[in-house]
Structure 1
Amino acid sequence: MHNGVSSFNQFVHELSVDSDTSSSDYSSGEESDGALPASPSSQSSRLSWASASANPESHWTEWVTFLLWWLIFPLRILVWIPQYFLRLFYKRSSTRAPTSPRRNQRCSPRPRVSKTMSSKDHDVPNRATDRRRGVIEDLHLAIEICIEAIFDFFHRATHMILSPSEAFAKMSSWFSSRSNSRKESHDDVLDDEPVQTATLGDTDPSLTERPTRLYSSMNTDTRTCQDVITELGYPYEAIRVVTSDGYVLLLERIPRRDARKAVYLQHGILDSSMGWVSNGVVGSPAFAAYDQGYDVFLGNFRGLVSRDHVNKNISSKEYWRYSINEHGTEDIPAMIEKIHEIKTSELKLSQPNIDEEINQEEPYKLCAICHSLGGAAILMYVITRKIKEKPHRLSRLILLSPAGFHEDSNLGFTIVEYIFLFVSPVLAHIVPAFYIPTRFFRMLLNKLARDFHNYPALGGLVQTLMSYVVGGDSSNWVGVLGTPHYNMNDMPAVSFGVAKHLAQIKHTGKFKMFDYGSRTANMEVYGSPEPLDLGESYEFIDVPVDLVAGKKDKVIRPSMVRKHYKVMRDAGVDVSFNEFEYAHLDFTFSHREELLTYVMSRLLLVEVTPSEQRQSSQKGMKLKKKKKEGISSVSS
């Protein structure tokens, strides 16, 4: 003890002084040298300690503090150890990080990522902007605040007991201040209604203060795909798309308005457009395509917790009543038609003399890169559009581990398949979709994802459990949970109809459209007692297809992607097949240079040079002229 203050009390007091002066100044355990002034709370605490030590009754204060110190001895030991290591962590981080507050740091528009990074490493771009705290960090903070409050209470109580005159003076001043406040409030009622003091044109503070305080207090990561794109210095545009059945979709864009080549990227199950930009400038397919001169469009399927629909009063049961059919026949057509509308109008404005007959269809080239469920949906889209004799407007398909065939899978998926098929008549009325329903539990998952990154042992346990659930797939599941689109406000979900559709495909061993369960229901939808077998309709695919499989993929095994290849090849489709040493999520959430190189090389195969454009245009004009003259056959 020194001057009536125990060593542990002095330690807690120094910790509070450090936290008051600067959140980044943890270079030493001593007091500040005066570069940063102490806060009023820290100054008042120092004065209170000085007054206690200078008091004539400090001898009794010393004995009371000594007894309290030993009464909480076990708690002191348990708390001191994590605080000690926490201080060491702050000291080390302060030597590496700049001393300015994090909110004032601005990242460079195009940060470089080291190419020596391990393939297993996963990092959301601009982690400095991720201000969320994990659950364990919150517990540390709560323990510190609790201990400080306990010691402050006992200190003040002891001081009041040993200084009754000062206690009486404070109580009297407290009662007098309460009476004065009541009088002032009574006078305010008699006065005219006060005028708000906010500057004219400013936003109402009451409207902006509450959500800001809410998010900052919970410390969750609520960044969107727009935030990630703009933070990295790229342009961004959000496009609202409404499907024919009333679902409101978000089509996001990294615009290059005068480009004649565009790419449409479609995510898979339990994912969103965030997957295509989550690896930053170097490792993300969306940024790689934009840097190659493409106009980039990022599609988002229906199925978010926010449930955006033209009918604002739609019930949960009605909203989630869809299968993969709606992804391929409603969502993708609406987004691609919107892309066609945007590109044709913009190219007419930027190039007034553009020939509408270029390539006999469109003044631009549109390729699609799809992952997992997105691959199955885009195949369904192309086939159904050709059957309906409608243009699909695509020039090439690049499918990364596409869904569609699933008979070769692990035991876990087989068990889930039979459970779905057996209990689906009852479960469909109880569980319309699989998602986290409340904001609190979504916030908890968002914060736990931070703990998975901060504590390798905990993250390794979660990674192992997730791998076993999906049959041993070695994807970075912990890294995926840490992406911002799994936040407290919104989150991708899976409807019961989509899960049941996948179970039907696996059970039958055929890539078919959704079976409504009876011949009558199927007749009403398809005009036939059986749903359309898409695998037997691959002859309708009239564009080149590039299939990519992952040798380590346990979700959609390479044998199933190879089955797509064999069926397409037998149907006469211009198809290619390639394999990489990847797991299922490595196609989107991991930095893979060889994959990006391969995808970009496939995209460049459909690039049209100006000379080819002129030849194609002249050929189209000649063909139209000969048709008018009644010539039925034309030599090339």
Structure 2
Amino acid sequence: MQRLVDHALAVTKESVKAVTYESVNNVVRIINGVSALLLALLPGKANMLEGIQGWELRPTFRGPRLPRWMENGVSSFNHFIHELSVDSDTSPDYSSEEEDSDRYEYPPSPASHCSRASEAYNRHQMDWFQRMQSLKEQIIHRATDRRRGVVEDVHLAIEICIEAVFDFFHKAAHLLLSPSEAFEALVSLFSSHGSGIEQDHDPFTDAAISTATRGGDGPAPAERSTNLHQSLNTDARTCQDVITELGYPYEAIHVITSDGYIILLERIPRRDSRKAVFLQHGVLDSSMGWVSNGVVGSPAFAAYDQGYDVFLGNFRGLVSREHVNKNISSREYWRYSINEHGTEDVPAMIEKIHEVKCAELKLSKPDSEEEIDDYQPYKLCAISHSLGGAAMIMYVVTQKIQEKPHRLSRLILLSPAGFHDDSNIVFSTVEFMLVLVAPILSLFVPAFYIPTRFFRMLVNKLARDLHNLPAVGGLVQTLMGYVVGGDSSNWVGVLGLPHYNMNDMPGVSFRVALHLAQIKRTRRFRMFDYGASTNIEVYGSPEPLDLAECYGTIDIPVDLVAGQKDKVIRPTMVRRHYKLMKGAGVNVSYNEFEYAHLDFTFSHREELLSYVMSRLLLVDPNHKPQRVARSKKKEQIAAASRD
């Protein structure tokens, strides 16, 4: 009778699983099919999707081939190199657990001083504990898969629920059909409580010890707890993980700005190198963007391979909210604009680089105070993207105005921000709304970010689903392209990058967004407008400092790069930087590539990478700069400001 009931429960369980799985898969296919239909009706989808490699739009429940920079976190070449060490079984198997449960072997309970009834009780408890531990281990193994999405998690949750429900009915039937064993279990339970044996022997403790000490049946419970803590994440790798996994050295430097923000300066160190490069990301990005293409496609690794000491900057604004004041409120933390990026974050990081390099190379400053104090036998170049480019320009200009050394030898600006009046209607509408409702909205929205770990995890997993459902991903990609005026960047792929995870995620302060809106509205590259009265205190005039009018103070070569398909910062806006710098006498160059906005960092572009490296190599690390007296430098800055 017991065997008949077991077979009936097993058949019923498999039937429920099959029906449930097929129902979920049919819903997913319908969603993907409707997305494919909508995508076919939308105009201009070819241009929107041309930047994505290997994207498939067939409404099938099969994941597309990922862009090569998204395959296992490295480029296609790196995937070829490491293919022997990468587990090829990345797709979860949602087949029945019945075959796995048949293979479970439970060791006998440890020796006990109890009666036979107590041994039977311990055996049942051991069986239950081992079954739950085995199921838990499978859950953890599947949930820690980096390629999991929400749909896959739904499958897993359904499987867990079905297993738990039928396991309950199986044990209930077993007790009803075997009353003698149930009676023995009850007797042993009461006898153990009455005799105090539990002080010397605890079946649960024995079970835990047995699980921890068994040779090959799984890790210790403590290890499982650690894995379970990370089980909800899809890919929580940090920039350090990516760098070290590829065999490069890594160093983390925590920098404290003058206003108390703690920012992370990451490094791929060459301590004896006299040439260094500083890479600064843009908005809603982090240092991860410079290493996401793997060995053969990332500017950071390419510079290191050319002998550079590589420093990767991170702006304030990560959701971790690191500050010297541990009790700082969210409103106070996010109270900054682009001004603070250019006058606090960048100066703090570059001064730290100078301090580190001087200590490692054992350099000394000039003896005379009358001479400029930025003499240095090492050379530091900067590569910046988008908002990072605007911040670097602001940094150089403000440092020169304040007669402080900027310590840079060259600027390479990839699609730099600063001018934004040539944009689409969506950006214009957002700019108008931000400026109009800023006094009210700033009271309720200090920043634009995802505040909780759960929702950050959910966004990360949904991004994975956009890859597994090709038509849905294509639809999102197309709609995102419409929002940004037709930019063909791989917006869906970027959401799946490791730095968009549950532990941390870049955010944008409200004042940064408002600052960009002010720049767009005034059509001038200016510092933040606090209002006439506050502007007088900060800038010494009712109007904010116009940075473009001070381009004459830039005393280093500048290379501007624009993207012909970039609809976020159009080539016309980058050319405006070029014309103003050229008119101010800056040694500036301009080049265009057939790229979209995110292609400068998140896509493997050999032509662009070669160009950037060629500009870096123009700087001679052994050339000693001429020392200029302070009085002469003051005259030069004053003349440039008058011009």
- Aligned pairs (5 A) from 1:233-632: 233-348=247-362, 361-517=375-531, 519-609=532-622, 613=623, 616=624
- Matches of 1:264 and 1:604 in 2, distance apart? 14
- Matches of 2:455 and 2:374 in 1, distance apart? 53
1:122/1:589 contact within 8 Å kept: no
- Aligned pairs (5 A) from 1:11-50: none
* CA deviation map 1:600-628 (0-9, x unaligned): 0000001245xxx4xx58x86xx99xx9x
1:355/1:363 contact within 8 Å kept: no
Pair 1:294–1:83, CA change in 2 (3 A): same
User: Which residue is equivalent to 1:170?
Assistant: 181
Letter in structure 1 aligned against 2:544: P
User: Which residue is equivalent to 1:36?
Assistant: none
User: Which residue is equivalent to 2:159?
Assistant: 144
User: Which residue is equivalent to 1:221?
Assistant: 235
* CA deviation map 1:269-313 (0-9, x unaligned): 000000000010011000000000000000000001111000000
Aligned pair partner of 2:190 in 155, 179, 193: 179
Aligned pair partner of 1:79 in 1, 6, 21: 21
Normalising by structure 2, we get a TM-score of: 0.73
- Matches of 1:78 and 1:140 in 2, distance apart? 9
Pair 1:185–1:337, CA change in 2 (3 A): farther
* CA deviation map 1:314-336 (0-9, x unaligned): 01111000000000000000000
Pair 1:190–1:293, CA change in 2 (3 A): closer
Structure 1 position 555, deviation (Å): 0.5
2:366/2:375 contact within 8 Å kept: no
Structure 1 position 473, deviation (Å): 1.2
- Matches of 2:156 and 2:224 in 1, distance apart? 23
User: Which residue is equivalent to 1:121?
Assistant: 67
Calculate percent identity across the aligned residue pairs.
67
User: Which residue is equivalent to 1:231?
Assistant: 245
Letter in structure 1 aligned against 2:69: D
Structure 1 position 79, deviation (Å): 3.0
Structure 2 counterpart SS, 1:123:
helix
* CA deviation map 1:564-596 (0-9, x unaligned): 101111111110000011010000000000000
Stretches of structure 1 lacking an aligned partner (at least 5 in a row): 1-50, 87-115, 200-204, 628-636
- Matches of 2:605 and 2:431 in 1, distance apart? 32
Pair 1:458–1:244, CA change in 2 (3 A): same
- Matches of 2:17 and 2:72 in 1, distance apart? 38
Structure 1 position 143, deviation (Å): 2.4
- Matches of 2:446 and 2:345 in 1, distance apart? 19
Higher RCO (CA 8 Å, separation ≥ 6 residues): 2
2:414/2:560 contact within 8 Å kept: yes
- Matches of 2:512 and 2:197 in 1, distance apart? 63
- Matches of 2:478 and 2:6 in 1, distance apart? 55
2:378/2:621 contact within 8 Å kept: no
Pair 1:173–1:117, CA change in 2 (3 A): same
Pair 1:454–1:563, CA change in 2 (3 A): same
Pair 1:348–1:467, CA change in 2 (3 A): same
Pair 1:184–1:366, CA change in 2 (3 A): farther
- Matches of 2:311 and 2:472 in 1, distance apart? 37
- Matches of 1:467 and 1:267 in 2, distance apart? 21
1:263/1:289 contact within 8 Å kept: yes
- Matches of 1:74 and 1:52 in 2, distance apart? 21
Structure 1 position 73, deviation (Å): 7.1
Letter in structure 2 aligned against 1:524: E
Normalising by structure 1, we get a TM-score of: 0.74
Letter in structure 1 aligned against 2:541: S
1:122/1:476 contact within 8 Å kept: no
Aligned pair partner of 2:199 in 182, 188, 207: 188
2:192/2:198 contact within 8 Å kept: no
Letter in structure 2 aligned against 1:574: N
Pair 1:208–1:338, CA change in 2 (3 A): farther
Pair 1:433–1:171, CA change in 2 (3 A): same
Pair 1:118–1:143, CA change in 2 (3 A): closer
Letter in structure 2 aligned against 1:136: V
Structure 1 position 472, deviation (Å): 1.8
Structure 1 position 212, deviation (Å): 3.1
Q: Which moved more, 1:390-399 or 1:171-180?
A: 171-180
User: Which residue is equivalent to 2:103?
Assistant: none
Letter in structure 2 aligned against 1:423: V
- Matches of 1:290 and 1:468 in 2, distance apart? 37
Letter in structure 2 aligned against 1:332: V
CA RMSD of aligned residues (A): 3.7
Structure 2 counterpart SS, 1:399:
strand
Stretches of structure 2 lacking an aligned partner (at least 5 in a row): 29-51, 56-65, 74-85, 88-143, 214-219, 633-643
Structure 1 counterpart SS, 2:265:
strand
Structure 1 position 181, deviation (Å): 5.0
Pair 1:186–1:536, CA change in 2 (3 A): farther
Structure of larger gyration radius: 1
Structure 1 position 177, deviation (Å): 3.9
Q: Which moved more, 1:418-427 or 1:175-184?
A: 175-184
- Matches of 2:593 and 2:420 in 1, distance apart? 19
- Matches of 2:194 and 2:393 in 1, distance apart? 75
Q: Which moved more, 1:218-227 or 1:281-290?
A: 218-227
2:575/2:590 contact within 8 Å kept: yes
Letter in structure 2 aligned against 1:569: K
